[in-house]
């Protein structure tokens, strides 16, 4: 059932990441998870993240420093030879930097996976365990997730394609522009003396800092994906039980898919956490295909047509699904009150708290906010 939905093939770098995850899992996967409480988890994840960011900073600084040194030492050489040295040294050091960052990112994400209890990453015994290495490889290497159209749900239905391209381009230019601007400013400020040579070295801390920032982003995204996996599993096993589903009317059961489907569209991306939750709900309802599960008007009509208890149940699910990507967009803020109505303040506060707990690494506190019942809030 899952395989025909998840038909995208991983790219080269993702395949490398997946293989590395499997290798680490075979070596360390039998070990027990490190953290058993939220406090232990927060401390452990913070330590792993800081270690990875420090190594990333150092390798970035060394790489940039080598290029600067090549530039300074060849200032008196002929122009072609000068730039040939700079280009050659930069190319070699950049290749080494990328290789080290690859290893650091994978190790950082793998250690966070173990801390959160995902110690058997190589065992594809369920949907989650089978795709977790893929999801974490993308997080570690900052590879975009493929756009999946599951059950006819288009995650990009409300996304401006031009805006997506512009955001991606701006992100790629950040490091280059920060280095250039910093050099220009320093060369203006510093006097024309030997002190001005410091302007050449400004790229060293800047490159290291960007590497550290990327590592923090990787760790943050990995934590979100791992928490999403555990929360989706918890919801399906303990909230969407056979007894709970039997208590729902046929319209409310379909409403469960509509709740998650519309959360995907409002979020404007197919975050893996939502993908896992959607597939698990479809499986529990034994629904293999269909259309219109992302129809907002149909979902609002469903909320108005079901019993009040069922409406609260669906609103609970909508709130949890909305928080799964770790942020609250402007579109969500404007559209969700149409569904929550008189309960808007309760559910918006719940969403914010769940996002806060996921970012803070408080898994058990987040699980408590994932209860689905027949009462508002």
pLDDT at 319 over 80: yes
pLDDT confidence of residue 227: 82
pLDDT(283) > 80: no
For residue 91, what are its two tokens? 């190319």
Asked if residue 220 has pLDDT above 90, the reply is no
| Highest-scoring range by mean pLDDT, 136-140, 157-161, 180-184, 275-279 | 275-279
Give the pLDDT confidence score for residue 134 in this predicted structure: 57
Q: How far apart are CA 188 and CA 182, in angstroms?
A: 10
Q: Which long-range contacts (CB under 8 A, 24 or more apart) does 299-303 make?
A: 299/255, 299/258, 299/259, 299/261, 299/262, 299/339, 300/338, 300/339, 302/251, 302/252, 302/254, 302/255, 302/258, 303/255, 303/339
How sure is the predictor about 7, in pLDDT bands with cuts at 50, 70 and 90? Answer: very low
pLDDT at 83: 84
Determine the average pLDDT of the residues in 315-330: 88
Residue 310 pLDDT: 93
Does 274 score more than 90 pLDDT? no
Higher pLDDT, 190 or 298: 298
Helix axes 12-28, 79-115, angle to 10 degrees: 50
Whole-structure pTM value: 0.71
Q: What is residue 171's predicted lDDT score, i.e. its pLDDT?
A: 45
Could you report the per-residue pLDDT of 169-206, keeping only the tens digit for each? 554 455 555 555 655 555 555 555 444 456 567 778 88
pLDDT score recorded for residue 124? 40
**Residue 14: pLDDT above 70?**
no
Contacts 24+ apart (CB under 8 A), 281-286: 281/236, 281/240, 281/256, 281/257, 282/150, 282/151, 282/257, 283/1, 283/2, 283/127, 284/236, 284/240, 284/245, 285/245, 285/253, 285/254, 285/256, 285/257
CA-to-CA separations, 273 to 20, 226, 230, 270, in angstroms, rounded: 22, 8, 9, 8
Most confident of 183-192, 272-281, 346-355: 346-355
Mean pLDDT of 20-47: 77
Residue 116 has what pLDDT? 78
Q: What's the start-to-end Cα distance of the chain, in Å? A: 33
Q: How confident is the model at residue 4 (pLDDT cuts 50, 70, 90)?
A: very low
Share of the chain above pLDDT 70, in %: 69
User: Dihedral sign, CA of 127, 43, 317, 241?
Assistant: positive
The CA distance from 372 to 377, in Å, is 9
Per-residue pLDDT tens over the stretch 233-263: 788 788 878 788 788 898 998 899 899 888 8
**Residue 268 above 50 pLDDT?**
yes
| Residues 43-79 pLDDT 10s | 988 999 999 999 999 998 998 888 888 888 888 888 8
Of residues 123 and 98, which shows the higher confidence score? 98
pLDDT value of position 29: 61
Residues 6+ apart with CB under 8 A from 317: 235, 256, 259, 260, 372
Question: What letter does residue 33 receive in the DSSP assignment?
Answer: P
Output the six-digit token pair for 313. Answer: 């149940």
DSSP label of 324: T
Average pLDDT, rounded, for the chain: 76
Query: Can you read off the two tokens belonging to residue 132?
Result: 């977790």
Q: What is the pLDDT of residue 317?
A: 92
Question: 113 vs 276, which has greater pLDDT?
Answer: 113
């Amino acid at each position: 059932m899952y395989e025909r939905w998840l038909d995208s093939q991983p790219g080269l770098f993702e395949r490398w990441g997946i293989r590395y995850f499997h290798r680490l899992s075979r070596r360390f996967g039998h070990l027990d998870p490190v953290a058993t409480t939220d406090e232990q988890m927060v401390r452990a994840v913070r330590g792993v993240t800081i270690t990875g960011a420090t190594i990333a900073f150092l390798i970035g600084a060394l790489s940039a420093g080598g290029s600067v040194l090549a530039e300074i030492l060849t200032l008196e050489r002929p122009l072609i030879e000068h730039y040939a040295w700079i280009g050659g040294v930069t190319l070699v050091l950049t290749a080494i930097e990328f290789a080290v960052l690859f290893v650091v990112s994978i190790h950082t994400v793998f250690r966070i996976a173990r801390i959160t209890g995902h110690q058997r990453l190589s065992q594809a015994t369920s949907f989650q365990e089978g795709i977790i290495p893929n999801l974490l490889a993308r997080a570690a290497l900052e590879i975009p997730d493929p756009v999946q159209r599951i059950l006819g749900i288009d995650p990009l239905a409300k996304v401006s394609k031009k805006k997506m391209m512009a955001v991606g381009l701006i992100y790629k230019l950040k490091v280059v522009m920060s280095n250039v601007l910093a050099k220009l400013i320093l060369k203006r400020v510093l006097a024309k003396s030997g002190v001005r040579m410091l302007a050449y070295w400004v790229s060293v801390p800047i490159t290291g800092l960007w590497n550290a920032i990327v590592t923090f982003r990787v760790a943050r995204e990995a934590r979100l994906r791992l928490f999403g996996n555990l929360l989706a599993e918890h919801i399906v096993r303990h909230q969407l039980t056979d007894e709970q589903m039997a208590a729902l009317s046929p319209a409310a059961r379909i409403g469960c898919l509509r709740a998650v489907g519309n959360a995907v569209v409002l979020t404007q991306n197919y975050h893996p956490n939502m993908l896992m939750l959607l597939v698990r709900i479809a499986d529990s309802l034994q629904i293999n295909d269909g259309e219109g599960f992302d129809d907002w008007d149909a979902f609002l009509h469903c909320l108005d047509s079901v019993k009040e208890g069922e409406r609260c149940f669906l609103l609970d699910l909508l709130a949890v699904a909305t928080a799964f990507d770790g942020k609250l967009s402007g579109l969500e803020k404007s559209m969700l009150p149409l569904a929550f109505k008189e309960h808007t303040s309760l559910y918006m506060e719940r969403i914010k708290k769940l996002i806060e707990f996921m970012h803070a690494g408080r898994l058990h506190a987040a699980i408590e906010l994932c209860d689905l019942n027949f009462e508002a809030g």
